[in-house]
Structure 1
Amino acid sequence: MADEPEEPQNPFKGTPFEQFFAQGLGGMAGPGGAGGQGMPDLNQLFGQLQSMLQPYDGPLNWDVAVDLARKTVAQSPDPSPTSAQQAAVADALQLADHWLDATTSFPSGVTTTAAWSRAEWVVGTLDVWKVLVEPVARQSVGALSTALPEEARAQAGPLLGILGRAIGMLLANQVGSGIGALAGEVLSVSDVGVPLAPAGRATLVPANVTAFAAGLDVPEQDVLLYLALREAAHQRLFAGVPWLREHLVGAVTAYAEGVDVNVEGIQQRVEEQMRGIDPAQLGNPEAMQQLLEGGMFEMPDTPAQKAALSRLETTLALVEGWVDEVVGQATEGRMPTAAKLQEAVRRRRAEGGPAEKTFATLVGLELRPRRLRDASTLWGSLRTRQGVEARDGVWMHPDLLPTEADLDDPLGFREGATAPTELSEEDFDAELRKLLDGPSDSAPSDEE
């Protein structure tokens, strides 16, 4: 009797992906295999996967993402802002900056103003989206191989590479549809808490401002001015605190880098998912999407991720609370509708609307300042007791910022401190170093 054909070697044997790829190889065997010899036609499998891919750099295909975002935006009317709308936005931002001059020690951070359509918002924020999304995408794509032993990784390299690019393509579709949906809701480039445009470019989206105003019993020109005040305040803070932008973006990156693979959990999910999916259809985008939606690559939060998330949420609350506080100062006695608008914006930001949920889907975490009211109270109390300079001076270094515990008692932050006195540069450096380093048996370094 002729020898039975050898079963194809599974390079994932002994790994969490053994069942997945054993079925993937075996499912291609039999009469339909290459030459009718019961061997899997790997060329056919690779060809099916490769046919759905286009060459691209990075963890996901941004051309696909942008194209889908544009198509999502185009599902509803998206006219370019008129010259009158452009002028109205520019005037509102100019007036807002003038009002803010008396509320903060930070100078204006606005260098250019613009009114964008939703499609223009997609294109204008793309560079920052890449910085925010790619770390998460890279970890998601890389999770498939990093969970394997080195020897299995070497044997399965080609298949992993193609699957990684297929996953990258699916992520591009998710990112594109998410950014497109977000473009239909955001009011400005600072609306999600992280500035999404180049430094100094203050921008509002008139179509979305009009939609937001429609739900309020407030004149639209008041809504526009109030949102311009918030945008200009964001610009001042990020311009006056050079480390802040990188601090927030770095927290997102730290979250992505903290992704850890739950090997046992993935094995269980793979086995469950593969029972209902024909491995020969792995080249089918819908089949791959079904795997992803089933949680195949869903990772639990690690301690590093939780720490990054806590730091991010607290900093976002402090940013939004500071903006809330200075805008409250600026509108006091000038805008009777300000209290109503403040409450509408607070509720929108604190409760987390569709925009925040979409952002959470894109970067893998929620950027929602749950403690906005506490942060606003903290900044206002500090200003009342010690003045504007003391309040704004807290932003000098990230280690000086209030903590989550400080937000639990916002009126008690720096309660025993007095207003700052005039210090020489050397004295200031020494005091700051002492505060940041804490007690030490050794003398502090003189290095900058």
Structure 2
Amino acid sequence: MTSIGGTEMVDWNLAVATATRFVRPGPEVSRDEARAIVAELRKHAKSSEAHVRAFTRMAQPDATGEAPHDTPVLVVDRPGWIKANVAGFRAVLKPLLAKMEDRRSTVPGGAVLGAVGGKVTGVELGMLLSFLASRVLGQYETFAPASRDLPAAAQGGRLLLVAPNIVHVERELEVAPHDFRLWVCLHEETHRTQFTAVPWLRDHIEGEIQSFLGETDIDPGALLERLREAAQSLAGAKPEGEEGEDEERSLVDLVQTPAQREILGRLTAVMSLLEGHADFVMDGVGPDVVPSVAEIREKFQKRRASGAGRLDQALRKLLGLDAKLRQYRDGERFVSAVVEEVGMDGFNRVWTSPNTLPTKQEIAKPADWIARVHRKADGAP
């Protein structure tokens, strides 16, 4: 990334250092236990491929009998997850930050202000990642480039399994470790299948993200004004006559432009589909290969809904993570309703093109998606 005066808009190294410093330590395990956990997670990730492929009928084997999966599976610790996600942020935000750096070069003293701002932003990003790093069980990382420590597919993509977090949750829930680890791998393998079996999906999502970032108002005054309004709203100091308008909106929502909200609506629908599909597949495959799947699902749902405490719940709301939880729920209901009505092959029409993806409204009303995609395609009036 280009920089002005030797500084960048975000001090990425400081973000990694801050997050690594403040992240909670993982659960205590011996060296032998750690090696066994890593080996088992890798084994489950491999076995999950066949289970997910057979259930979804998305990624069929080629002439050699192999599925089209060329993305690596990486079992990482919390600092490893942090490094991978900083690399992903850096790649996705590169065009936006380059534009902001160009704007900064025209402002008197911009380089000095940018150096200070880059440090501040690096610390803020690091603190956010330190909070998230102890909560993520796994992640299909779509955009991050390969590095020496963190390989990725040629076009981007790698599957991360965060071993300490998986162990922490299985102990907290008091469930069978073997079953829980396989259950988690089924969910994450579904995400890998989605992106490897649907070649256009990655570019489509990246295009939407770049459109969202492209609509960012980089005028400092306008951005500060929206941040001020957001702070007033979150503090309860709403202008007269606007009570209740922003009750369910996070800080992320409150600093968006109208155009960004429209793009975010489309992205929310896609993410609801992907997360709900992964949950649906995980539970569909589960009874055949995970003996205690019912117990795991019940306990995990309670944990997911309740959060770890008041501070955790407040941060989740502020950062918009509650919306993430709704994506799982709403998306799973959409997939379940569509599969029940038109079968798995009928549902798989969703992967035909960006035009067959559900809208945010259709996620809530699966019958509308069926009417639009199936009845029109089948020549029904």
**CA deviation string 1:253-275 (max 9, x = no partner):** 333332335847848999xxxxx
Partners of 1:78 and 1:119 within 8 A in 2: no
Aligned residue identity for 1:320: E
**Aligned residue for 2:290?**
335
Give the distance between the partners of 2:79 and 2:280, measured in 1 at CA.
Answer: 32
Structure 2 segments unaligned to the other structure (5+ residues): 60-66, 145-149, 229-252
Give the distance between the partners of 1:222 and 1:140, measured in 2 at CA.
Answer: 48
**Aligned residue for 1:409?**
365
Residue 306 of structure 1: CA displacement?
Answer: 0.7
Partners of 2:45 and 2:182 within 8 A in 1: yes
**Aligned residue for 2:63?**
none
Residue 171 of structure 1: CA displacement?
Answer: 0.3
Please say if 1:315 is aligned against 2:315: no
Aligned residue identity for 2:278: V
Higher fraction of helix:
2
Give the distance between the partners of 1:160 and 1:396, measured in 2 at CA.
Answer: 47
**How many aligned residue pairs are there?**
330
Residue 323 of structure 1: CA displacement?
Answer: 0.9
Give the distance between the partners of 1:393 and 1:118, measured in 2 at CA.
Answer: 37
Cα 1:343–1:399 shift into 2, 3 Å: farther
Cα 1:67–1:388 shift into 2, 3 Å: same
Cα 1:268–1:114 shift into 2, 3 Å: closer
Residue 202 of structure 1: CA displacement?
Answer: 2.8
**Aligned residue for 1:173?**
123
**Aligned residue for 2:260?**
305
Report matched runs for 1:65-144 at 5 Å.
65-73=15-23, 82-107=34-59, 108=67, 109=69, 111-134=71-94
Give the distance between the partners of 2:89 and 2:226, measured in 1 at CA.
Answer: 33
**CA deviation string 1:60-99 (max 9, x = no partner):** 1212222222222376678888321221111111222222
* Greater gyration radius: 1
Give the distance between the partners of 2:313 and 2:81, measured in 1 at CA.
Answer: 14
Secondary structure of residue in 1 paired with 2:36: helix
Residue 413 of structure 1: CA displacement?
Answer: 3.4
Structure 1, 337-346 or 304-313: larger mean CA deviation: 337-346
Aligned residue identity for 1:408: A
Give the distance between the partners of 2:52 and 2:321, measured in 1 at CA.
Answer: 32
**CA deviation string 1:11-63 (max 9, x = no partner):** xxxxxxxxxxxxxxxxxxxxxxxxxxxxxxxxxxxxxxxxxxx9645421212
Aligned residue identity for 2:44: A
Please say if 1:216 is aligned against 2:216: no
Percent identity over the alignment?
A: 23
Residue 402 of structure 1: CA displacement?
Answer: 1.2
Secondary structure of residue in 2 paired with 1:83: helix
Secondary structure of residue in 1 paired with 2:108: helix
Partners of 1:229 and 1:327 within 8 A in 2: yes
Give the distance between the partners of 1:349 and 1:195, measured in 2 at CA.
Answer: 26
Give the distance between the partners of 1:367 and 1:252, measured in 2 at CA.
Answer: 17
Aligned residue identity for 2:199: P
Aligned residue identity for 2:54: A
Partners of 2:27 and 2:164 within 8 A in 1: no
> Which of structure 1's runs of 4+ aligned residues deviate more than 4 A?
54-57, 74-81, 133-143, 193-197, 261-270, 343-361, 364-367, 415-420
Secondary structure of residue in 2 paired with 1:189: strand
Give the distance between the partners of 2:334 and 2:183, measured in 1 at CA.
Answer: 22
Return the match for 2:346 from 366, 390, 398: 390
Return the match for 2:281 from 313, 317, 326: 326
Residue 237 of structure 1: CA displacement?
Answer: 0.5
Partners of 1:230 and 1:323 within 8 A in 2: yes
Cα 1:373–1:215 shift into 2, 3 Å: same
Give the distance between the partners of 1:256 and 1:370, measured in 2 at CA.
Answer: 24
Partners of 1:313 and 1:369 within 8 A in 2: no
Give the distance between the partners of 1:372 and 1:402, measured in 2 at CA.
Answer: 15
Aligned residue identity for 1:60: V
Cα 1:220–1:55 shift into 2, 3 Å: farther
Cα 1:70–1:300 shift into 2, 3 Å: closer
Secondary structure of residue in 2 paired with 1:202: strand
Report matched runs for 1:189-268 at 5 Å.
189-190=139-140, 198-199=152-153, 201-260=158-217, 261=219, 263=221, 266=224
**CA deviation string 1:290-334 (max 9, x = no partner):** xxxxxxxx9832111111221121111110111112222211344
Cα 1:106–1:78 shift into 2, 3 Å: farther
Partners of 2:182 and 2:290 within 8 A in 1: no
Structure 1 segments unaligned to the other structure (5+ residues): 1-53, 146-152, 271-297, 421-430, 435-448
Give the distance between the partners of 1:170 and 1:338, measured in 2 at CA.
Answer: 44
Give the distance between the partners of 2:191 and 2:330, measured in 1 at CA.
Answer: 18
Aligned residue identity for 2:273: L
Partners of 1:314 and 1:369 within 8 A in 2: no
